[in-house]
Structure 1
Amino acid sequence: MTNSETAYAKINLALHVRRRLPDGYHRIETIFAFLNQGDQLSVEAGEGLGLTIGGPFGEGLSTRDNLVLQAARRLAEMSHVPHGARLHLDKRLPVASGIGGGSADAAATLRLLNRFWRLDHSVAALADLAKPLGADVPACVLSQTCSGTGIGHDLTVIPDDGLRSCSILLINPMVPVSTAEIFAAWDGRDRGGLGEGDILSVSRNGRNDLEAPAIALVPVLTDLLQMLEEQKPILARMSGSGATCFALFWNAADAKEAERHCLQQMSGAWTMIGSFL
């Protein structure tokens, strides 16, 4: 039994916002996909539930009011766990960046403690348990390419053979954005749902309806997306509510060249290259 778990970075290959709901959430249609890299969670036995945080993006994060601890407490309460755990989060992904972040950390916590406490919950049961923790958390529990509808909780795993060999470049201008602010700035116009076909066609013919409001708040995203398009990727788009953008390439060499090109023009940006999980 391993005492660590990766909180896999999430991207939205497409994200169509259909309407606002009375509870403040939005009805969406999206395609979730996951990189083979992300934050790292580890655990050891301990009294109660405790959390320490390190890593490049760990500074300033709360070790008391954190989705990791919220997930741990919920799993312990729902499963009647009598013992505790000491968790450590190695924060490698930027905060408030549209690639899962806290949602992926919460999901990894559920998978890790399910194994550490020998609870034997199915992944589907963990995803269901995760729903109150946030719109993206159930998808992050699965960490499989899937479509998400409703507020993102209604998940269907979809074939991704057409993308398996791709390399993915993530790039963030190191400007944190508020998901709530971006959704609030959405113009409310329903531009239609996802189309049909193979995942690559559906993704390329799709869009991210949050790009326009994000660009209005973070204008540098226009330059970032243009830089990515200059490298002639399979697909380039903003992920989630931003500000991380991604580009898909057929091979790692092209992704690396695109990374070099972008960093030459935007020093200080954060990048990561991975493949589909």
Structure 2
Amino acid sequence: MSLSLPLSVGAAALHERAPAKVNLSLRVLGRRADGYHELVSLVAFAGTGDRLSLEPGPLGLTVGGPNAAEAGAEADNLVLRAATALAAKVPGLASGHFHLVKHLPVAAGLGGGSADAAAALRLLARLNGLAADDPRLREAALETGSDIPACLNGTACLMTGRGEGVAPVTLPRFGMVLVNPRVPVSTAAVFRLLALQPGEVRASVPGPPPADRGELLAFLQGEPNDLEPPAHRLAPVLADVAGALEATPGHRLVRMSGSGATMFALYDDCRAAARAARLVKATYPVWWVKPTVLG
């Protein structure tokens, strides 16, 4: 296990990216006796996201950026909750003031808060000389939120359980367009509409995803996002978002990420994605539309 040296007192701020999490598939296998839902999700990360910095000193948080107003009360932010969880596990943990630049929309199914919290844990690990595979990081991540363990490495993985299982996978590179109609969707409300009872099992675990581009797309056709139908009931505008993406030339897959309300489309390359994003934005100028890459 390799260790990095702790940051010296008075050193400059540290910086981390917090890339958007995209659920290429999301199966709800059932509901456990403890109330958590048993999931299996092929998770990838986009080339866009939030940014987080840490300046050594007293623990604190400020939020800026185009979507700062949507981020909610700073005291409830997952960044501070993750830092507090890690401090309870690492005696004498050095901390500092976080500054979050919020680019991603909130309650959007992109794991923005989880990615921010994971970035905070990475920053604290660098500040304190903790190894990236220190088990206390993953423990603090899972304690803070189910998506955060998958976001710790920020690389494609198969996420299982309620988020505690994270197995790295290799995926081909795609161009991608993310579209959010600026309508938040409550994850809790989506799961309530599933109406699964504790102990109920509804699906089996799929096999591993293939790495070949064509085979992966075929695999994804049979591995949907089970949260998409209830999310459509809560946010009917998702049908318009899906239609707008399906009208773009060259799209290979159109699907909702997480519990919504962000939809994505995959393309063969970033140029096709950029052209598609321009078309969607021209028709729906108030939507959040972001061309990026996946993989």
Do the structures match in fold with TM over 0.5? yes
Q: Is the 8 A contact 2:51 2:100 kept in 1?
A: yes
Q: Does 1:226 align with 2:231?
A: no
- Of 120, 130, 138 in structure 2, the residue corresponding to residue 127 of structure 1 is 138
Q: Give the superposition deviation at 1:82.
A: 4.9
Q: Which amino acid aligns with 2:206?
A: L
Q: Does 1:144 align with 2:155?
A: yes
- Which residue of structure 2 lines up, in the alignment, with residue 259 of structure 1? 277
Cα gap change, 1:81 to 1:36, in 2 (>3 Å)? farther
Matches within 5 A, 1:23-172: 23-47=34-58, 49-59=59-69, 61-122=72-133, 126-160=137-171, 163-164=172-173, 166-172=174-180
- Which residue of structure 1 lines up, in the alignment, with residue 23 of structure 2? 12
Question: Could you tell me how far apart the structure 1 residues matched to 2:86 and 2:27 are?
Answer: 31
Question: Could you tell me how far apart the structure 1 residues matched to 2:120 and 2:74 are?
Answer: 14
- Which residue of structure 2 lines up, in the alignment, with residue 190 of structure 1? 202
Q: Does 1:250 align with 2:268?
A: yes
Q: Is the 8 A contact 2:30 2:203 kept in 1?
A: no
Q: After superposition, what is the alpha-carbon deviation per residue over 1:134-159, rounded to whole angstroms, capped at 9, x for unaligned?
A: 11010011211111111122111112
Question: Could you tell me how far apart the structure 2 residues matched to 1:186 and 1:139 are?
Answer: 23
- Which residue of structure 2 lines up, in the alignment, with residue 202 of structure 1? 219
Cα gap change, 1:169 to 1:159, in 2 (>3 Å)? same
- Which residue of structure 2 lines up, in the alignment, with residue 176 of structure 1? 184
Q: Give the superposition deviation at 1:121.
A: 4.3
Q: CA RMSD in A?
A: 1.9
Q: Give the superposition deviation at 1:78.
A: 1.2
Question: Could you tell me how far apart the structure 1 residues matched to 2:61 and 2:251 are?
Answer: 40
Question: Could you tell me how far apart the structure 1 residues matched to 2:141 and 2:240 are?
Answer: 36
- Which residue of structure 2 lines up, in the alignment, with residue 240 of structure 1? 258
The TM-score, its normalising length taken from structure 2, stands at 0.86
193-202 or 37-46: which moved more?
A: 193-202
Cα gap change, 1:254 to 1:75, in 2 (>3 Å)? same
229-238 or 182-191: which moved more?
A: 182-191
- Which residue of structure 2 lines up, in the alignment, with residue 215 of structure 1? 232
- Unaligned 5+ segments in structure 1 are none
Q: Give the superposition deviation at 1:123.
A: 6.2
Cα gap change, 1:125 to 1:167, in 2 (>3 Å)? farther
85-94 or 69-78: which moved more?
A: 69-78
Q: Does 1:275 align with 2:285?
A: no
Q: After superposition, what is the alpha-carbon deviation per residue over 1:89-139, rounded to whole angstroms, capped at 9, x for unaligned?
A: 111100100001111110000001110222334266523331111110100
96-105 or 187-196: which moved more?
A: 187-196
Question: Could you tell me how far apart the structure 2 residues matched to 1:84 and 1:129 are?
Answer: 15
Question: Could you tell me how far apart the structure 2 residues matched to 1:264 and 1:99 are?
Answer: 23
Give 3-state SS (helix, strand or coil) of 1:120's partner.
coil
- Unaligned 5+ segments in structure 2 are 1-6, 8-12
Cα gap change, 1:77 to 1:227, in 2 (>3 Å)? same
Give 3-state SS (helix, strand or coil) of 1:202's partner.
helix
- Of 27, 32, 38 in structure 2, the residue corresponding to residue 21 of structure 1 is 32
Identity among equivalent pairs (%)? 41
Question: Could you tell me how far apart the structure 1 residues matched to 2:146 and 2:113 are?
Answer: 11
